[in-house]
Amino acid sequence: MATLAVDKERLAISRLYARFGFGPRPGEFAESLSRGLQSTQQSFLVKPDLALIQSQLKVPDVEDIGPRPPAGSTASNEYSTRLRNQNRELALWWLDQMATTDFMLNEKMAWFWHGHWATSIDKVKFALPMYDQNQRLRTHALGNFATMSQEMFLDGALQIWLDGQDNTAKAPNENLAREFMELFTLGVGRYTEEDVKALSRIFTGYVVARTSGALTFAPRRHDSSPVTLLGSTRSFRAAEAVEYLVDRQDCAKFISERIWYRFFSESKPLPQSFAGQGFEDRNIDELVSTFINSPYLSEADLPMVKSPVEWCIAICRAFGLVPSQFSNPQTLLNHLSKMAQVPFLPPSVGGWPAGGAWLTSASAQFRLNFSQYLIKSIDLAQLREVPRADRINYLKDLLGIYQLSPRTEDALRAVVDEPARLILLLVNSPEYVVGA
Amino acid sequence: MDTLSRRLFLKLTATASVVGGAQVLSLDEIASAAITRPLPENTPILVVLTLYGGNDGLNTVIPYKDGLYYSLRPDISYPQEKVLPLSDGLGLNPSLVGIKSLWDKKKVAIFRGVGYPNPSQSHFSSMAIWQSGQNNYQLRSGWLGRWVDTQKFDPLLAINLGSVLPPLLVGEKRSGSVLPLGGYIKPVGSLVRDCSRLSLASPTDSPLAAQAASSLRDLLTVSAELSPILSSPTPAPLELPTINGGNAGGDNQLSQQLDLVSKLINAGAPTRVWTTSLGGFDTHANEADAQAALLSNVDKSITRFFSQLSQSTRGKDVTLLIYSEFGRRVVANASAGTDHGTSGPVFVIGDNIKGGFYGDQPSLKSLVKDNLAVTTDFRDIYASLIEGILKTPATAILGGWKGRVKSLLYKQ
C-alpha cells in the first residue's frame, strides 16, 4: 500500500470527530485543526453535565398506550396507528439528538451502549420501554459501568427482549443470564454452562408490564436456593450477582475489547496495554479517556467503516440537516432500513455488524440512492460561493476527512462545477465511507 | 433470543458472515461460474422458502368438509365454495390458484401435521429448531450448513437471497453464502462515469477502503457477457401488496428473490441449494386479509418461478420446499387473528415429486392443549430431501435422525 504524506494531528482530529462524535458541524473541524489535538481531546473529554444534556433534549411523544382495544373496532385501528407513529417518532427523535447534540461523545457512547445492550423494538413492541432504556444508556453513557449494569438488569425493555419474565423458579429460562455474561459483562468463554444455569436461577422472579416496561419482583417466582457462580457458592440476590460479575477482571478486559472493536478496529485484537487499564473503578469516562489519549488515535492502519447511521448523521451535521424536519422523514428511515441499520432495531442481541459488513455492492447502491435523497435537502448556495479551486478542500474540512487519494481527487475535480454531484461523489468516496 | 438461536447467531458473527464479509457473493462471481463451471446437467437443485412468523396451516390446507373447522373458527374460516378442492376433504386457500394447478399436474406433495415433539411456540426457538434440524440443542448449526460441511468446499454451493445468512445455512465448519438482492441494479446516466472514476483501485487505499471501492465498482462491472443472463428474461416486477403481519424476521421481496434464483439456475450456476424467505405470517390480528395477501404473494411468485424455469432444461431438476416455524392456534383469538400454534403443512413441489398428501391430517376432535397434534416429524422430510435431492447420507447431518418419509416421495 502506497502512502500519502502523514499528518498525525489531522488524522487524530478526524478520528475524534468521526468515531468519538458523529462528525463535525460547519467550522468545527477547521477550528480544531487550528487549536490543536490536545485542546480538541480535552474538549471531547469535558465531563458532561447530565442536567444540561437533558435540558436540551426534546421529549418525544411516547407514552404508555395500554392494552390493545378489541380487534376490529375503530379504537383498535387507532391504537395500531398510534403504536406505529410512536415507534417512528422515537427513531427520528434519537436521530435528531445525534444530528444536533452539543455533547457528541456522550451521545456517541449512548449509541455504543445501544449496540452493546442491543435490544430491539421488534420484539419489545412498545416505544415507552425503549425510550426509558435509551435514557438509561444516555445517563450512564460515560458514568459507572457497575451502576449501568445494575440499572440495565432492571430495564423493562431488556427483560422483555431476553424473556426475563419467562424465567421462573419452576421453569428457568437461560436467555438473559447467558447474554448477561457472554455479551454484556464478561465475554464468551469466561464462564461455564453451569454458571449460566446458576445465574438464571439467581435472575428468576421478575415480571414486566409490556406496555410500560415497569418491572416488579414476584418472590413466589424466585429461586433463592444457594448456587455456585464462578466459584462462589451462596444465595445470591440478583444485584449481588451483577456486582460480582462486573467486579471481575474479565469484565474490565471485555469492555475494553468492545470499545476497541467499535472505535479502533473490528479486525485487529485489543493491544495488551489496554487489557482493563483505566477501568479499575469501572468508570467509563476514565476508560474512554485512556483510549482517546492513547497513541492509537493517530496510528496508521486502523481504518473504520462508518455504519449507515454514522454515515447519514455525519452528513446531516455537516450540512445542518435535522432528520425529523425532512419533508417525509419516513423516507429517511426507509433508506436506513435498506442499509440495514435503524436505531432501536438491532438485528440481534449482538448488535450490528462492523467493518466490511457494510461494504457490499448492495450497500454501495443503497448508499448512492440514500445520498441522492439527502442532497435534495442540502442548501447548495454556500458551496456555490466557494471558488471552484477551493471547493474540494472546503468540503474535506467541512466533513472532517483526513485525506483523499489522487483517484478520488481526480473524480471530484471532474465535477467541481456542480455542487450536488460533487457532494454526492465525496460522501460515497472510499475515503469518506471508510475513515482513515 | 433463546439459547439456540443465540448460539447460531454467535456462530454467524464469529465467521463474519452476517451481511458482507468474505462470504458475500457478487452476481459477477455467480454468473462467471455459471459460464466457466456450470452445474452438470441433470443435477438436482433444492430451493427452500421459509415463511417467517408462523403461517396458519389450517387456513392454507383447509379441512372444508369438517364441521368442526367452521364451529371452531366462525369468524376466520373460508366458506366451502371458495376453497380450491384437493381430496380427502381438504382444499387450498383461495389465493393458491397456481399451486392448485401444479397439484393437478401431480407436482405438489403436501405433508400434513408437520412439527416435532413438545412444540415450542416461540418464533425464535421454533425457527431455530426448524433451521438447525434438531430439537435437543446438541448441534449449533443449520441442517443445510451441515450438508455444506460434507461437500467439497465451494462458496457457490449454497446461497441465500438477501443480505443476512440464515441459521439454516450455517455449518459446523463452513457456511453457505449470501447474495444481497438488488446489488445488480446499475447506476445510470452521468453517475456511471462518476462512479467508475471514484471506484478505480488506488494504491493508497487501506484494505477496507479498497473493499469500498470494489463494492462500488461491482455495481458497474457486470460485463457485457453477463448482463444478458441477469437482465433477461425481464418480466415486469409483480405488483404485490405489502403486509404488516408482525415482525418475526424474513424478507418481503419474494418475487425478486425467486426471479434472481430462476435466472441463475437457468444460466447454470453451480449452486445446489438456494434459500429464500418471506416474512409477515405472524397474524395475531385481522388474519384473513393479511394471510390471503401473503399466500397470494407466495403463489404468484412461485408460479412465475416455475414458469421461468420451464424455459431451460434445468426446470425439471428443481425441487421447492416451503415451511414455516409453526402453525397457528385452532381457535381464533379476540382480534380476529390466531396465536402461535404447533403443527402445519409443508409443501414440496417439483417435476420429480410424486404429488399427493403425505402423513395424517391432525384431527380437530382431539386437540393437544388447544393445538393440532403433530403427525409428521419435519426431520423425516429433511432426511428424504437430503438423500433424494442432495444425494448425501442424512442420518449424520440430522444428528442421528433415522426417520424417513414412509411412502415414496420421488417419481421413478
Whole-complex ipTM: 0.92
What's the pLDDT tens digit per position in A41-92?
999 999 888 999 888 888 888 999 999 898 888 898 899 899 999 999 999 9
Structure confidence at residue B169 (pLDDT): 86
**DSSP 3-state assignment of B237?**
coil
Q: Which residue of B has its CA nearest to A353?
A: B18
Q: State the Cα–Cα distance between residues B299 and B295, nearest whole angstrom.
A: 6
Taking an 8 Å cut-off on Cβ atoms, the answer to whether B19 and A414 are in contact is no
C-alpha cell at B259: 426471479
CB–CB of B402/B393 below 8 Å?
Answer: no
Q: Which of A306, A304, A270 is nearest to A98 (CA)?
A: A306
Q: Is A104 exposed, middle or buried (0-12, 13-18, 19+ CB in 10 A)?
A: buried
CA B310 to chain centre: 20
Cβ of B203 under 8 Å from any chain A Cβ?
yes
Q: State the Cα–Cα distance between residues A269 and A272, nearest whole angstrom.
A: 9
CB–CB of B107/B355 below 8 Å?
Answer: yes
Distance from CA of A302 to the nearest CA of B (A): 9
Q: State the Cα–Cα distance between residues A398 and A367, nearest whole angstrom.
A: 20
Structure confidence at residue B2 (pLDDT): 39
Taking an 8 Å cut-off on Cβ atoms, the answer to whether B1 and A428 are in contact is no
C-alpha cell at B33: 461460474
What's the pLDDT tens digit per position in A376-410?
999 999 999 999 999 999 999 999 999 999 999 99
CB–CB of A220/A184 below 8 Å?
Answer: no
Out of A188, A365, A424, closest to residue B185 by CB: A365
Structure confidence at residue A373 (pLDDT): 95
Nearest-5° Cα angle at A296, A293 to A298: 90
Contacting A residues, span 57-76, partner chain B, CB-CB under 8 Å: 68, 70-72, 76
Alpha helix ranges (H) inside B151-199: 190-198
Q: State the Cα–Cα distance between residues B244 and A124, nearest whole angstrom.
A: 16
Average of per-residue pLDDT across A150-172: 89
Q: State the Cα–Cα distance between residues B189 and B103, nearest whole angstrom.
A: 47
Residues 6+ apart with CB under 8 A from B37: B270
C-alpha cell at B61: 390446507
Taking an 8 Å cut-off on Cβ atoms, the answer to whether B198 and A358 are in contact is no
In this structure, chain B runs to a length of 412
Average of per-residue pLDDT across A317-342: 93
Alpha helix ranges (H) inside A219-299: 238-247, 249-263, 284-292
Out of A2, A70, A301, closest to residue B203 by CB: A2
Structure confidence at residue B350 (pLDDT): 95
pLDDT (tens, 9 = 90+) of chain B, 412 residues, equals 334 344 443 333 333 333 333 355 667 677 778 878 889 999 999 999 999 889 999 999 999 999 999 999 988 999 999 999 999 999 999 999 999 999 999 999 999 999 999 887 766 678 888 999 987 656 668 899 999 999 997 778 988 887 667 788 887 777 777 776 654 556 778 888 899 999 999 999 998 999 889 878 766 654 333 444 444 433 344 444 333 333 344 566 899 899 889 988 988 889 999 999 998 887 776 788 889 999 999 999 999 999 999 988 999 999 999 999 999 989 877 667 787 789 999 999 999 999 999 999 999 999 998 899 999 999 999 999 999 999 999 999 999 999 999 776 787 6
Contacting A residues, span 312-341, partner chain B, CB-CB under 8 Å: 340
Substitution target from B211, B282, B339 for chain A, most A beta carbons within 10 A: B211
Cβ of B194 under 8 Å from any chain A Cβ?
yes
Nearest-5° Cα angle at A398, A394 to A400: 115
Taking an 8 Å cut-off on Cβ atoms, the answer to whether B202 and A76 are in contact is no
Per CB-CB distance under 8 Å, the chain B contacts of A76 are 285, 335
Taking an 8 Å cut-off on Cβ atoms, the answer to whether B213 and A430 are in contact is yes
Sign of CA dihedral A49, A54, A55, A58: positive
Residues 6+ apart with CB under 8 A from B412: none
Q: Which residue of B has its CA nearest to A3?
A: B204
Q: Is A309 exposed, middle or buried (0-12, 13-18, 19+ CB in 10 A)?
A: buried
* DSSP structure class, residue B39: P
What's the pLDDT tens digit per position in A254-263?
999 999 999 9
Bridge partners of B376? B114
Substitution target from B186, B192, B197 for chain A, most A beta carbons within 10 A: B197
Cβ of A428 under 8 Å from any chain B Cβ?
yes
Distance from CA of A50 to the nearest CA of B (A): 33
Count H helices, E strands: chain A?
A: 23, 6
Distance from CA of B19 to the nearest CA of A (A): 5
C-alpha cell at A27: 467550522
Taking an 8 Å cut-off on Cβ atoms, the answer to whether B198 and A428 are in contact is yes
Contacting B residues, span 48-107, partner chain A, CB-CB under 8 Å: none
Q: Which of A189, A280, A191, A259 is nearest to A231 (CA)?
A: A191
Distance from CA of A351 to the nearest CA of B (A): 10
Taking an 8 Å cut-off on Cβ atoms, the answer to whether A430 and B195 are in contact is no
- Please state, as a whole number, how many other Cβ atoms lie within 10 Å of the Cβ of residue B412: 5
Per CB-CB distance under 8 Å, the chain B contacts of A305 are 208, 212
Residue B130's alpha-carbon distances to B36, B51, B122, B294, in angstroms, are 35, 11, 12, 21
Bridge partners of B275? B48, B160
Domain range annotation of chain A: 4-46+303-435, 249-298
**DSSP 3-state assignment of B177?**
strand
Cβ of A162 under 8 Å from any chain B Cβ?
yes
The per-residue DSSP string of A70-88 comes to PTTSHHHHHHHHHHHHHHH
CB–CB of B42/B271 below 8 Å?
Answer: no
Cβ of B206 under 8 Å from any chain A Cβ?
yes
On the question of pLDDT at A171 being above 80, the answer is no
CA B160 to chain centre: 9
Bridge partners of B368? B371
Q: State the Cα–Cα distance between residues B402 and B383, nearest whole angstrom.
A: 8
Residue spans of beta strands (DSSP E) within B116-210:
158-161, 177-179
Out of B6, B200, B206, closest to residue A434 by CB: B206
The per-residue DSSP string of A167-235 comes to --SSS---HHHHHIIIIIIS-TTSS-HHHHHHHHHHTTTEEE-TTT--EEE-GGG---S-EEETTEEE-
Distance from CA of A335 to the nearest CA of B (A): 14
Taking an 8 Å cut-off on Cβ atoms, the answer to whether B183 and A362 are in contact is yes
Per CB-CB distance under 8 Å, the chain B contacts of A118 are none
Q: Which of B157, B164, B158, B156 is nearest to B180 (CA)?
A: B164
CB–CB of A407/B198 below 8 Å?
Answer: yes
Distance from CA of B378 to the nearest CA of A (A): 25
Torsion angle, alpha carbons of A84, A156, B248, B399, to 10: 180
Residue A138's alpha-carbon distances to A120, A183, A266, in angstroms, are 17, 19, 24
Q: Which residue of A has its CA nearest to B5?
A: A348
Substitution target from A359, A403, A413, A427 for chain B, most B beta carbons within 10 A: A359
**DSSP 3-state assignment of B315?**
helix
Per the listing, cell 452445474 goes with B39
C-alpha cell at B266: 437457468
In this structure, chain A runs to a length of 436
On the question of pLDDT at A34 being above 90, the answer is yes
- Give me chain A's average pLDDT, please: 93
**DSSP 3-state assignment of A109?**
helix
Distance from CA of B243 to the nearest CA of A (A): 14
Q: Which of A162, A432, A144 is nearest to A288 (CA)?
A: A144
Q: Which residue of B has its CA nearest to A367?
A: B216
Distance from CA of B230 to the nearest CA of A (A): 15
More confident residue, A179 or A234: A234
Taking an 8 Å cut-off on Cβ atoms, the answer to whether B3 and A174 are in contact is yes
Residues 6+ apart with CB under 8 A from A387: none
Taking an 8 Å cut-off on Cβ atoms, the answer to whether A359 and B247 are in contact is no
Taking an 8 Å cut-off on Cβ atoms, the answer to whether B335 and A68 are in contact is yes
Bridge partners of B51? B278, B324
B219-238 burial, b at 16+ Cβ within 10 Å, e below that, comes to bbebeeebeebbeeeeeeeb
Q: Which residue of B has its CA nearest to A356?
A: B21
C-alpha cell at B120: 415450542
C-alpha cell at A328: 417525509
Alpha helix ranges (H) inside A264-386: 284-292, 308-319, 329-338, 361-375, 381-385
